[in-house]
Amino acid sequence: EVGPKSGDNVRIGKVGGEGAEAEVGGVAKLAKEGRAQRLGGVGGGRTWETAKLAAAGRKLPARIAPTSASTDAPTGAMGVLYKETGEHVRAVCLPHSAELVLVDSAIIAAAPLRLLIAGSGDALSPYFAARANAASDTAHYIGRGHRRSLAGLAVAQKSYLPLLEVAFNATT
């Protein structure tokens, strides 16, 4: 069954686009006023970030429906805040990832090719990040600053070539 059930209170709003603190606060305020039980974000990266951050601020689960495969942000337990001008302010570690990431492959396929290429780069980058982290052997900033694991490096390494092949085939 799709759509709200009898008695459900569903609100749909439009995000302004920059994922700024004021915008995140505004969405969180609407969620509080509407006694939301969860928040969703349908669209691109700044929409996902706004939904994830507002949901975390209200201690609500988030549901994300991306309209492009430009990054892996919908699946991550991190949110990014921006200034109204679009400049990066900070990354925020969230208590958990979205409870649902709903992907419609027809919508993703209809998105501009440049976004798929960007997403391919994002999917390939963990291998290089894992190598750099292994070489430096320093703690990262997620959680309590854990050190890298050999398993993480192995997964990134084993994922790189198959991802590179799929990305190449999808964009040619």
Q: Tens digits of per-residue pLDDT, 54-89?
A: 999 999 999 999 998 888 778 888 888 888 888 888
Q: What gap in Å lies between CA 107 and CA 123, rounded to an integer?
A: 19
φ, ψ at 90 (rounded to 5°): -170, 160
Q: What gap in Å lies between CA 153 and CA 143, rounded to an integer?
A: 18
Mean pLDDT of the chain: 83
Q: What gap in Å lies between CA 79 and CA 64, rounded to an integer?
A: 13
pLDDT at position 133 is 84
Query: How far is C-alpha 114 from the chain's CA centre?
Result: 18
Q: Which residues contact 61 (CB under 8 A, 6 or more apart)?
A: 38, 39, 55, 98, 99, 100
Q: What gap in Å lies between CA 127 and CA 162, rounded to an integer?
A: 12
pLDDT at position 1 is 40
